[in-house]
């Protein structure tokens, strides 16, 4: 028997997955530059930052979210709401990018 709560989770999963195929958008970080600097995504897509530097970086939106990207590693974020935000690296605030998320 499925509890009400599990049913809710199942429904949420089904609804979240159903409407459109989620894409992964890749941003490369090399020599302290986000490339491409401007990206567009749909709600449900994943942004994947690939850090080619030997330095740790972050993708940070003040007061909202932060993704830590270790040296020579990649890190991801699945975007959950429509927004248009500037993000930057907290360690090197001269590194800037822009993310536009639209509703699917």
Partner 1 sequence: MFIRSTTALAAVFLLSAAPLSQAADKPTDPQIAHIAYTAGVLDVEAAKQALKKSKNKEVVDFAKDMVRDHEAVNKQALDLVKKLKVTPEDNPTSKALTKAAAEERAKLAKLKGAAFDKAYVASEVAYHKQVNGALETLLIPSASNAELKSLLETGLKIFQGHEQHAEHVAGMLK
Query: Alpha carbon of 8 to those of 70, 77, 87: distances in Å?
Result: 36, 24, 33
Q: Which of 76, 96, 77 is nearest to 88 (CA)?
A: 96
Q: Is 29 in the site for partner 1 (CB under 8 A)?
A: no
For residue 75, the tally of other CB atoms under 10 A from its CB is 16
- Closest to partner 1 by CB, 25 vs 68, is 68
Structure tokens at 42: 């749909």
Which range touches partner 1 (CB under 8 A), out of 1-9, 20-28, 30-38, 43-51?
30-38
Q: Is 32 in the site for partner 1 (CB under 8 A)?
A: yes
Q: Is 39 in the site for partner 1 (CB under 8 A)?
A: no
Number of residues binding to partner 1, judged by CB under 8 A: 14
Which range touches partner 1 (CB under 8 A), out of 7-15, 25-33, 38-46, 75-83?
25-33
Structure tokens at 50: 């690939």
Euclidean distance between CA atoms 22 and 70, whole angstroms: 25
Which range touches partner 1 (CB under 8 A), out of 1-9, 29-37, 41-49, 74-82?
29-37
């Amino acid at each position: 028997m499925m509890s009400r709560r599990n049913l809710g989770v199942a429904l949420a999963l089904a609804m979240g997955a159903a409407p459109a195929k989620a894409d992964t958008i890749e941003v490369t970080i090399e020599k302290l530059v986000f490339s491409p600097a401007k990206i567009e995504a749909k709600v449900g897509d994943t942004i994947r930052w690939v850090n080619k530097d030997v330095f740790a970086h972050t993708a940070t939106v003040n007061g909202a979210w932060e993704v830590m990207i270790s040296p020579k590693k990649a890190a991801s974020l699945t975007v959950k709401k429509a927004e248009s935000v500037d993000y930057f690296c907290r360690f090197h605030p001269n590194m800037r990018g822009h993310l536009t998320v639209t509703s699917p």
